[in-house]
Structure formats: structure tokens, C-alpha cells
Amino acid sequence: MGASPNDYAHAAPHHSFIHVDDFESPEKLAEYLHTLDTNDYLYNKYFEWKGTGRFINTFFWCRVCALLHDQSRARHVYDDLDTWWRGPNVCIGRQRWKDVKKNKHLLSATGFELVSNLLT
């Protein structure tokens, strides 16, 4: 879900985020979040980076500005930004999960088991 852990690691301070891919199941992720909720020490570890005086600046707006003014790049016009951004087969809510469950042959066995467990 979302960007890969490596993408976050390149843009966010060390130990400042929790990524779903770091857990073997949604249940394990939920258990960890409950642990953080009851353990101030572990919870506050995610904010230690604020005291380091260091941060990762990706200069996002500078990059956007440069791309917008780059005359050598082909011009693209998108009538529907949502479709362009999400692309095909991206989960967009409960109805999408129901569609996935109906079309289980499109998923690996473990993927379908995960979806089935979430829906039951």
C-alpha cells in the first residue's frame, strides 16, 4: 500500500514512519499500533528525529517548477487526473474489495486469503 519503504526512506527521516510492508499481516500491524498506543517510549521514538536538527529536503516545489518550465519535455494534457494518478486496478474503497473477491482468480492465493480475511 502506498509507496515502497525505500521511497519513504529516501524522503523521510530514519524511524519517522511505519510502513505496512514491514509487517507480515494486517493483524501484526494492528498489534504494533496498539503497542505504540500504550507505550510512550516506543511511540516517542518516531519523533526523535525532530531533535537532531537534520531533515531531508526533497525540494519538491523546486522540482515541480523546473519540470513545468522544461521546454524539452513533451506536453501532456490529462482530462482526468484521478484516472492518470491512480492507474488501472487500484483499490478505491469497499466496492473495489468486493470486486476483487469476486475475481479471485486474478490474485495469488496468499493475496486472496488476505483479502478474504479482511472482508470476513
Kindly report the backbone phi and psi dihedral angles of residue 17, in degrees, each rounded to the nearest multiple of 5, phi listed first.
-145, 160
The pLDDT value recorded for residue 49 is 84
Distance between CA atoms of residues 116 and 74, nearest Å = 43
The pLDDT value recorded for residue 35 is 96
Answer for the pair 93, 99: CB distance below 8 angstroms, yes or no. Answer: no
At position 86, the amino acid (one-letter code) is R
The pLDDT value recorded for residue 94 is 55
Answer for the pair 91, 97: CB distance below 8 angstroms, yes or no. Answer: yes
Consecutive sets of 10 residues in the chain, 120 residues long: mean pLDDT of each?
Answer: 80 87 92 96 90 70 83 83 72 58 54 50
Give the DSSP letter of residue 75.
Answer: P
Domain limits, the chain: 1-76, 89-120
The pTM (predicted TM-score) of the whole model is 0.45
